[in-house]
Amino acid sequence: MARYQPHDAYYWRARERGLPSRAAFKLDELLARHRLIRSGARVIDLGCAPGGWLAVLAEAVGARGRVIGIDLAPSRVASPNVIALTGDLNDPAIRAEALARLAGQADLITSDLSPKLTGIADRDQARSAELLYVALEFARTALRPGGAMVAKAFMGAAFDEIAAEFRRAFARVELTRPRASRPGSAEIYLVATGFKPDPHPAQA
Ligand SMILES: C[S@@+](CC[C@H](N)C(=O)[O-])C[C@H]1O[C@@H](n2cnc3c(N)ncnc32)[C@H](O)[C@@H]1O
């Protein structure tokens, strides 16, 4: 039988702030703490459904900004400055569409990508790491020099390797856990700033 899980303070705080979910509260906290966004910014949100982060980002970039989301599942979108695309981030066509809709280089890429969890820790961590590599590869094609990325990761065997890959691509990488993360959760967030484009990109 499912165990009753009472809502904690972060659930109620998210409700009070009019944020759609606890996940949204976490992003809101990271954006405020690291000053990652300004009005008018262009953002791509990877793994955006059902739309909690999209709502936070839409408010942060304001009417002159633009937010493009990508997810396998459809998202709820309530702002004119947000477009949510339904598709697989591995698909070059959906990546190209996101870049075309953004109409310029991204200031910030956010990734809350998560595979369908099996409960087998090693497998879940490996699939989550694969998704994060795909997100970073996409960010390399989408970000402006000096741009930023916020990405959820899970502590596990592949984590050090991923963090090293982020450190090669960005001038600064901080590992942080929002206060709103559930106690005991293996999730951790990479907050990477100062994107350094590859001076010798591989030919396609
Ligand atoms: C934790 S949820 C995101 C929640 C979202 N940030 C919010 O606030 O509503 C993770 C999402 O990653 C998406 N996802 C997983 N693999 C994907 C892929 N290959 N391409 C696009 N989206 C993917 C899932 O469909 C899922 O909706």
Any ligand 1 atom below 6 A from CB of 117:
no
Handedness of CA 154, 31, 58, 134 (dihedral sign): negative
Task: Quote the CA–CA distance of 145 and 195 in Å, as a whole number.
Answer: 5
Any ligand 1 atom below 6 A from CB of 131:
yes
Domain locations along the chain: 23-195
Q: Of 94, 96, 92, 41, which is closest to residue 70 (Cα–Cα)?
A: 94
Categorize the per-residue pLDDT at 20 as very low, low, confident or very high, splitting at 50, 70 and 90. low
Å from CA of 88 to ligand 1 middle:
10
State the CATH class of domain 23-195: alpha beta
Residue 1 has pLDDT above 70, yes or no: no
What's the confidence (pLDDT) of residue 203? Answer: 59
**Could you read off the pLDDT of 118-151 as tens digits, one per residue?**
888 888 888 999 999 999 999 999 999 999 999 9
What's the confidence (pLDDT) of residue 167? Answer: 97
The protein residue with its alpha carbon nearest to ligand 1, atom 5, reads: 48
What's the confidence (pLDDT) of residue 200? Answer: 74
Position with higher pLDDT, 109 vs 154: 109
pTM for the model: 0.91
Neighbouring-strand partners of residue 66: 42
